[in-house]
Structure 1
Amino acid sequence: MAVYVVGDFLRETRLRKGYTQEEVSYGICTPASLSRIENGAQKPGRLILEKLFERLGTENNLFNSFVSREDMELYSAIQELIRNITDDDVAKIEAQIEVVERLAVNSSELEHQCLYFAKGELARQKEKDNEKAMEMYMKAIHITLPDFDGKNPLRNNLLTFDEIMIINSIAILYGNSENVITAIQLDMWLKEYMENKIVDGKMKTTKYPMIMYNLSCWLEDKGCYREELRMAEQGIDFCVKYGNLALFPKLVLNKGGALVKMGDNENARKYLHQAITIFDAMGKLEIVQQVTAWCKDNCEFEI
């Protein structure tokens, strides 16, 4: 059985995928630093190592980097902040920002990316200040993608999971401000990137259904019901395959809504009823009431 050190594994994976050192290291470290890491001449920090693996489309489940207690404490705090963001837990995001800020006083800009992103989420979700949220998102993304203008996809760039999360949040801002075309353009970029560049992993399982749900909603806003249906069905299939059911009922609901708009009332009723049943089992009674009322007002049938 072959035995790898981290540099060997990074280099072999990069070469197998056909990426240059410049593509993988862009915004994370210099190509020269990556070369030294691959050759075993430089020990990477835990966060840098993780981001390099993410650019290669995988997660760092195989290697650990020996770091100081302070570095490990900051890394753990950042991971907790990412979990809070993923869970949309505003109270925990606010509290964890203070923890990370205290630990990141003397750290590099890379460690601040998640901090700026979290402040953007707080501005969008709690303060309802979209202008401030966009400012924080752009400050975060420019740490590793300085050429991104906030609107046009950089299809030649490799992405980390944090970059995918930030770009998705930027798309949500555009969707909320009725700039739906830009929102669709950004999330279609992320959808295609995750399908083509990222192997199966925890972050893909978490984020891909959200992107499919966003796209199905925005395509409905533009009256593209057949495309809405396609996105919802792809999202449903992914949720079933990978056991991520958090967004499953919402995707089923969007599938039913698309079928209503396309005049397929028989199948629409079936999927809307399924969505309501799941929401009811989850105790989401407010959503059940909203969907029931929508069906009564917009459909030729009642649920």
Structure 2
Amino acid sequence: MAVYVVGDFLRETRLRKGYTQEEVSYGICTPASLSRIENGAQKPGRLILEKLFERLGTENNLFNSFVSKEEMELYLEIQTLIRNVTDGDLQRIEEQIDIVDRLTKNTSELERQSLFWAKGELATQKYGNNGKAMEYLMKAIQITLPDFDGKNPLRNHLLTFDEITIINSIAVRHAENTSLLTAIQLDMWLKEYMENRVVDGRMKTAKYPMILYNLSCWFGSEHCHKEALDIANQGVDFCVKYGNLVAFPRLILNQGIASVELGQIDNAKKYLHQAVTIFETMKRMDTVEYITTWCRNEYQIEI
């Protein structure tokens, strides 16, 4: 039986996928450092190891990285910050930002990438300041992708999961500033990247459906309803296959909205009923009220 150490696995995976050391290490470490890691001459830290695996389209599920007490504390606090942002708990986001900010004062910029992303999300969620949010998001993404201008995809670059999250947030900010074509361009880049470069895993299951949801919304806003329906269908199929229940009802709702716009009323009623039922089960009665009122006022459809 072959026995792998982390350097062997990184090298063989990289070569099998046809990536250069420069592509995989870009913005994370130097190519020389990656070479030493692959040859067993350098032990990577937790974060660098994690990001290198992500650039290879997977998660670090096989290899443990021994870390200090301080590194573990920082890792746990960053994970808490990410959860708080996802939950939209503004008070906890602010409190956690202060904690992570303090813990990363003397670390590398790489350790602060999630912090800047969280500051950008807070600037939007609490203060509605998209300009400030974009400043933080660009500061975050350019730590590892210094060539990215916030608008034009870097299709030849490999991405980490954090980079995908940040670019998606940048796309959302563009959409909120009515730059829908830029938002669509960015999330289509992410959609194609995740389809072609990222293997099935926990992070893909979490992020990919939300990118499809955004795209189906934005195509609909641009009156490209067939494209919106096709992407919503794709998202629903993925959620069913991989069990993402967060994006699932939203994508079904978008199936209904696109079907209405295309004049497919019977299908629209089916999808809208399904979405309402799921939101009722989730006790999201505000959303149920919004959907039923919208259907009644805009299309004279009773749900």
**The TM-score by the shorter chain falls in which range?**
over 0.9
Q: How far apart are 1:292 and its partner, in Å?
A: 0.9
The question of whether the paired residues in 2 share the 8 Å contact of 1:46 and 1:75 is answered with no
- Structure 1 gaps of 5+ residues are none
Instruction: Measure, in 2, the Cα distance between the counterparts of 1:68 and 1:301.
Output: 60
Task: Tell me: CA distance 1:127–1:300, structure 2 relative to 1, closer, same or farther (3 Å).
Answer: closer
Task: Supply the distance in 2 between the matched residues of 1:55 and 1:217 (Cα, whole angstroms).
Answer: 28
CA distance in 1, matches of 2:67, 2:229: 48
* 1:131-167 residue CA offsets vs partner (Å, 9 max, x unmatched): 1000000000000000000000000000000000000
Q: Which residue of 1 aligns with 2:194?
A: 194
Q: Matched residue of 1:143: which SS?
A: coil
SS of 1:144's partner is coil
Q: How many angstroms apart in 2 are the aligned matches of 1:150 and 1:53?
A: 24
2:33 maps to 1:33: yes
After the TM superposition, which residues 42-191 of structure 1 pair with which residues of structure 2 at under 5 Å, given as runs? 42-191=42-191
Identify the residue that residue 11 of structure 2 maps to in structure 1.
Answer: 11
Amino acid at match of 1:132: K
Q: Residue 204 of structure 2 corresponds to which residue in structure 1? A: 204
Measure how far apart 1:74 and its partner are.
1.4
* TM-fit CA distance, 1:300: 4.5
Residue in 1 aligned with 2:24? 24
Distance (Å, rounded) in 2 between the aligned partners of 1:279 and 1:228: 21
Q: Distance in 2 between matches of 1:155 and 1:148?
A: 11
- My pick for the range that moved more, 260-269 or 96-105, is 96-105
Shift of 1:298: 2.1
Distance in 1 separating the partners of 2:293 and 2:278: 17
Do 1:174 and 1:183's aligned partners in 2 also have CA atoms closer than 8 Å? yes
- Cα distance in 2 for partners of 1:88, 1:187 equals 22
Query: 1:151-192 CA distances to partner (integer Å, 9 max, x unpaired)?
Result: 000000000000000000000001111110000000000000
CA deviations on 1:185-227 (whole Å, 9 max, x unpaired) are 0000000000100001111111111101100000010000000
Per-residue deviation at 1:79?
2.2
Shift of 1:285: 1.1
* Identity in percent: 71
Unaligned segments of structure 2, at least 5 residues: none
AA aligned to 1:174 is H
Secondary structure, aligned partner of 1:43 = coil
Q: CA deviation at 1:64?
A: 1.4
Alpha-carbon separation, structure 2, partners of 1:100 and 1:2: 40
RMSD after superposition = 1.0
Q: Find the counterpart in structure 2 of residue 288 from structure 1.
A: 288
